[in-house]
Amino acid sequence: MDRKRLLEHKVRNGLQQLGLLGLLALLLGYLAWVVGGESFLWGTLLGVGTLWLINPVASPRLLVRLYGAIPLTPRDTPGLYGIVQALATRAGLERLPRLYYLPSRLMNAFATGRRDDAAIVLSDGLLRRLERRELIGVLAHELAHVANGDIQVMTFADTLSRITSLLALLGQILLLLSIPALLLGLATPPLLALLVLLAAPTLSALVQLALSRNREYEADLSAAELSGDPVGLALALDKLERQQGSFWEQMMLPGRHLPDPSLLRTHPPTQERIARLMELVPDELPSRALAWPLDDPRELLALLGRGIEGAPRWHITGLWH
């Protein structure tokens, strides 16, 4: 593992995260000052600070129940839990995340919850198509989200974004109510305040998207550090891109090769993520790479005894499965 390059990336990602959260807080604070003045500004900042300390996160049990995921026990999948235990120990997690199986053809994995109460969900399509080395990389990536507190960070950012949009709406309503005074020349609102009121929801959403991409990069780097094998995750990302791209091309997005605007991506470009991971590959074999046996995914699926019928369908949570 190229430790110097890893440290450089982590420092850069950390500074970007602080800058983006600061920008969200600054935008929210300015809106609070425009709408309600100095006292309202300090009250809003106090409320934001309280939210950061409390930072409620939805229960992982509730989320996995919405998706219809099936719990996996250490007795059923000892090898899989053995890998997660090793990764969690390296990440400094005191409590092991619970694993769930999602009966979906699509290749997908996600983590939810806090460091002391987390869940990692693996789809049927992911278990069927990934090799053991690739699956370890994906597990490390999802566990890195838990260890880095990314769920809490993104929940906090989403809360700030929603409050910003609410204040912007309130400011626009007040502006409409003051139109008679404006027409009579009794009031002249600052041009900057008008622009911020109109652009605040879009700006906060763009900052939130940028923060999401930042946390994905950081999770990739942390996963490489935890597993000791950046190549495994890089291979998994490449396979995920090719498999999911094939599905979308056939089902929904025949024009997907047209590049999306970079500002509107919730995840960084896959090739960029792979390139950053490959920069960490040393000349010699990584000394900390996990090499323990993992459950054969086919045996796991047979144990579950679940069949996948019909085409993937859209769920209210936004996931196709």
Q: Does residue 316 form part of some domain?
A: no
Residue 25 is assigned to a structural domain of this protein: yes
In a domain, 82, yes or no: yes
Instruction: Encode pLDDT of 279-292 as tens digits.
Output: 888 655 444 555 54
> Which of the four pLDDT bands, split at 50, 70 and 90, describes residue 45?
confident
Residue position matching structure tokens 């983006």: 20
The catalytic residue among 8, 134, 142, 299 is 142
Domain assignment present for residue 319? The answer is no
- Catalytic residue list contains 142: yes
Tokens of 86: 């090793």
What is the value of pTM for the model shown? 0.79
pLDDT tens column, 148-184: 988 888 888 888 888 888 888 888 888 788 777 766 7
For 77-114, b where at least 16 C-beta lie within 10 A, e where not — what string?
Answer: bebbbbbbbbbbebbebeeebbbbbbbbbbbbbbbbbb
Range of the domain at 183: 3-304
**Number of structural domains the chain divides into:** 1
Position 139 pLDDT exceeds 80: yes
Structure-block tokens of residue 165: 């949009």
Q: Specify whether the CB–CB gap between 132 and 294 falls below 8 A.
A: yes
Domain annotation covers residue 250: yes
202: in domain: yes
Q: DSSP characters for 112-124?
A: EEETTEEEEEEEH
Specify if 95 maps to a domain: yes
Least confident of 14-28, 84-98, 215-229: 14-28
Residue 187 lies inside a defined structural domain of this protein: yes
Task: Decide if pLDDT at 256 tops 50.
Answer: no
